[in-house]
Structure formats: structure tokens, C-alpha cells
């Protein structure tokens, strides 16, 4: 249970341990708020693939798709108030004073402070954050659906926004998972012709439901198949596996762009460089959005009724372990979200879990 005091907050969180994917409950004290800080009571937090990259570091609080209710604001925070539903994401702070910060590129700020630095992350019942880096969730989007928009949604939206995707484009989303299923929805709402590309054949029905006009299985990508396929202006790869990148470059129109947001396990081998020169094809990567992108993405998602398809787990040590094992086993359809029990439920759930562990 998280307890507020006049001198700050005693916060309950769940931290990694020496044992991989094993979590423990911790308590820590956060000092009284400074002028720009806010205290958020967390209601839901998405479980992202990137969380697992840090699961091997003991005593780390994970979670960067957190959404909750504002309990208290510092004296200089005016844009959000007590009771507002807000989300926070990967970037926690930036200098707010460099050219990148001034031009809406704060996510590139050289003084940015990123997840998982600090204990104020999402696998917790509360967090003290810089209120200038939290985002008001639009009316109509529930906390559990807003969570995955903060990283998965932000990443695909940012990739498309920064690639200047326009409605006349044919675009392909590679990988129909946590990011990809949102990518299909964003691309369809953008007005594009949308193609889902997956290595499996069993997600077609759902991909079409998420907004794809057509579905391709990458196992069919023979040179003959690639030759006769109508090419794409933009291909967004959301999967964390290696590709045959030259095949994807062949699937682009001249001036087309292949953008990577899923992190492949190995160094990228491009093959021939001529497509970059003769056909001016682009190979780029993208991180999630900062303040400008996240603000736009939430408005866009609200306007077009874009929501993640989620599976719910309780926000507890056991719930986190279950959600991470589920994700690790490749079973997530399509985003696991940790849901905080109501206050009176927290201690009951913890007591039961403690007895079982
Ligand atoms: Zn993430
Ligand atoms: Zn800066």
C-alpha cells in the first residue's frame, strides 16, 4: 500500500531480483514534491518487450507504459490537476533548454533522462514524476488502454509521423504483435493502403480486423514473389528478429523508406549499397516519441478510436512474473497490462500471493 505523508510518499513497487524474471515487493520513500513534480497513483501499466532487456539487473523497477491518477501537483504545475488521468513513458526528463528540446525533439536531448533510471517506473503503486513529462489521457480512453499507447503506440506513431507518411502511401507493417497491431490501426486511420506482413499464417483474420487491407506471409518472399508484388512507400518493422534486409529493400519503391523500431538481436547486414544510391532508398530507425509526439498521438488515438487489444494481469509480483513469462513465450495477444487492484484489494492479493510463493 502506498502511504502519503506530509514529507513525501512511501511507495510500494516491484523490483527485479538476482533470479531472472523473479520480482519482489519493495518500499521506498520519495521526498515531498518539488515545484514541477507530480505524484501519480498508478492504475495500469503495460508490459513491454524492452522491460525484459533490463530484467537481468537486480533491484530495478521496470515498467514504462504507466497510467494513473494525479494525487498531488507541485506549485508550478498548471496544465494538469488532482484527479486527472495521466500517462508517463520512457523519457522522464530533458533539459528543456537546448535546440532539440525547443524544436519538439526533446527525445533526442543529450541530457535526457530515460527509463529505467530511478525507481519511479510503472511496476509500482505510485510514482513521483516531472509533471512536464506526463501526458493527460483524453476523455474516453481508459487507463488500461492508455498504458500501451505510451510506448508501443508512441513508437509506431512517431515512426510514421517522422517519416512524413501521407494518405496516398502504400505502407507495410512487419510483425503483428504489441507494436504492429497498433501500427495497423494508426496506418489505416492515416488513410494509407495498409499491408500486414508476418512470418506466421495464423494472424491474418486479426490483422484485417486491426485495419490491414491485405496480409502477406514473409515465408512466401521468393525473388519471383518480390518481383511481382506492388512496392511500398514505407515499411515499418516492429519485430525483434533479424530480417533479410535486402528483400525488404527490394519491396520499396524508389525513395521508399524501411524503418526499424524492433531491436534485432544481431548487427545488421545490408548487402548491396546500390539501392541507397541509385534508388535513394532509406534505411532508418526510430525511438518512441517525446512530448510533442506523445501529445499528438493521444489526440489521434482518441479521435480515431485506436485502442490496444490487451490481456490483463494483476499489478503484483506474481502478476508481473506471469505477464513477463507470457510475453517471453510469444503468447501475448497483443499487449499485457498490469492492473492495480482497488485499494482494499491490494493487501488481500498480496497476502494470498505471499502464502503461495
Ligand atoms: Zn516499451
Ligand atoms: Zn535538451
| CATH code, domain with 224 | 3.40.50.720
Residues 136, 191: one domain?
no
Residue 295 lies in a domain: no
Give distance in angstroms: CA of 109 to centre of ligand 2: 4
Residue environment code for 260-288, b if the CB has 16+ CB neighbours within 10 A, otherwise e: bbbeeeeeeeeeeeebeeeeebbbeebbb
Residues 189, 267: one domain?
yes
Q: Is the pLDDT of residue 4 over 70?
A: no
| Percentage of the chain modeled with pLDDT above 90 | 84
Q: Is the pLDDT of residue 171 over 60?
A: yes
Smallest-distance ligand from the CA of 327: 1
Residue 92 lies in a domain: yes
Give distance in angstroms: CA of 228 to centre of ligand 1: 36
Q: Over range 218-232, report the average pLDDT.
A: 97
Q: Over range 310-338, report the average pLDDT.
A: 95
Residues 228, 111: one domain?
no
Give distance in angstroms: CA of 105 to centre of ligand 2: 8
Give distance in angstroms: CA of 51 to centre of ligand 2: 25
Q: Is the pTM of this model over 0.75?
A: yes
Residue 51 lies in a domain: yes
Q: Over range 271-285, report the average pLDDT.
A: 89
Residues 186, 313: one domain?
no
Residue 293 lies in a domain: no
Give distance in angstroms: CA of 114 to centre of ligand 2: 13
Q: Over range 32-48, report the average pLDDT.
A: 97
Residue 178 lies in a domain: yes
Give distance in angstroms: CA of 95 to centre of ligand 2: 4
CATH of the domain at 114: 3.90.180.10
Residues 23, 97: one domain?
yes
Give distance in angstroms: CA of 132 to centre of ligand 2: 13
Written as nine digits, the cell of 99 is: 535546440
Identify the residue whose cell numbers are 506549485. 75
Give distance in angstroms: CA of 226 to centre of ligand 1: 32
Smallest-distance ligand from the CA of 288: 1
Note every long-range contact of 346-349, with CB atoms under 8 Å and residues 24 or more positions apart, other chains counting.
Answer: 346/1, 346/12, 346/125, 347/1, 349/314, 349/316
Residue 323 domain boundaries: 2-141+307-356
Residues 33, 162: one domain?
no
Give distance in angstroms: CA of 7 to centre of ligand 1: 32
Residue 104 lies in a domain: yes
Residues 198, 93: one domain?
no
Q: Is the dihedral of CA 336, 339, 345, 351 positive or negative?
A: positive
Do the Cβ atoms of 147 and 337 come closer than 8 Å?
yes
Residue 267 lies in a domain: yes
| pLDDT score for 5 | 54
Query: How many distinct structural domains can be found in the chain?
Result: 2
Report the interhelical angle of 343-356 vs 317-328 (nearest 10°).
70
Residue 292 lies in a domain: no
Amino acid at each position: 500500500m502506498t502511504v502519503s505523508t506530509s514529507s513525501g510518499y512511501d511507495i510500494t513497487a516491484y523490483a527485479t531480483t538476482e533470479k531472472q524474471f523473479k520480482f519482489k515487493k519493495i518500499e521506498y520513500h520519495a521526498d515531498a514534491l518539488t515545484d514541477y513534480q507530480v505524484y501519480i497513483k498508478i492504475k495500469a501499466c503495460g508490459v513491454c518487450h524492452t522491460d525484459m532487456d533490463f530484467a537481468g539487473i537486480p533491484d530495478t523497477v521496470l515498467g514504462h507504459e504507466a497510467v494513473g491518477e494525479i494525487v498531488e501537483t507541485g506549485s508550478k504545475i498548471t496544465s494538469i490537476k488532482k484527479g486527472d488521468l495521466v500517462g508517463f513513458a520512457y523519457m522522464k526528463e530533458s533539459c528543456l533548454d537546448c535546440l532539440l528540446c525547443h524544436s519538439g525533439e526533446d527525445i533526442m536531448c543529450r541530457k535526457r533522462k530515460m527509463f529505467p533510471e530511478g525507481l519511479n517506473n510503472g511496476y509500482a503503486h505510485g510514482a513521483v514524476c516531472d509533471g512536464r513529462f506526463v501526458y493527460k489521457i483524453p476523455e474516453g480512453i481508459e487507463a488500461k488502454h492508455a498504458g500501451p499507447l505510451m510506448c508501443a503506440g508512441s513508437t509506431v506513431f512517431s515512426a510514421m509521423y517522422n517519416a512524413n507518411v501521407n494518405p496516398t502511401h502504400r505502407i507495410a507493417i512487419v510483425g503483428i504483435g504489441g507494436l504492429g497491431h497498433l501500427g495497423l490501426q494508426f496506418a489505416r486511420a492515416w488513410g494509407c493502403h495498409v499491408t500486414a506482413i508476418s512470418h506466421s499464417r495464423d494472424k491474418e483474420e486479426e490483422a484485417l480486423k486491426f485495419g490491414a487491407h491485405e496480409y502477406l506471409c514473409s515465408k512466401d518472399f521468393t525473388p519471383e514473389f518480390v518481383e511481382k508484388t506492388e512496392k511500398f512507400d514505407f515499411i515499418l518493422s516492429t519485430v525483434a528478429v533479424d530480417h533479410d534486409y535486402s528483400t525488404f529493400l527490394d519491396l520499396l519503391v524508389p525513395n521508399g523508406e524501411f524503418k526499424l523500431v524492433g531491436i534485432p538481436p544481431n548487427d545488421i547486414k545490408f548487402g548491396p549499397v546500390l539501392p541507397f544510391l541509385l534508388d535513394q532508398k532509406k534505411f532508418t530507425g526510430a525511438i518512441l516519441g517525446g512530448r510533442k509526439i506523445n501529445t499528438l498521438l493521444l489526440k489521434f488515438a482518441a479521435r480515431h478510436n485506436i485502442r490496444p487489444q490487451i490481456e490483463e494481469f494483476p499489478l503484483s509480483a506474481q502478476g508481473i512474473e506471469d505477464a513477463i513469462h507470457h510475453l517471453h513465450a510469444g503468447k501475448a495477444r497483443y499487449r499485457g497490462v498490469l492492473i492495480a487492484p482497488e485499494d482494499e484489494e491490494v493487501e488481500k492479493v498480496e497476502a494470498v500471493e505471499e502464502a503461495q510463493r
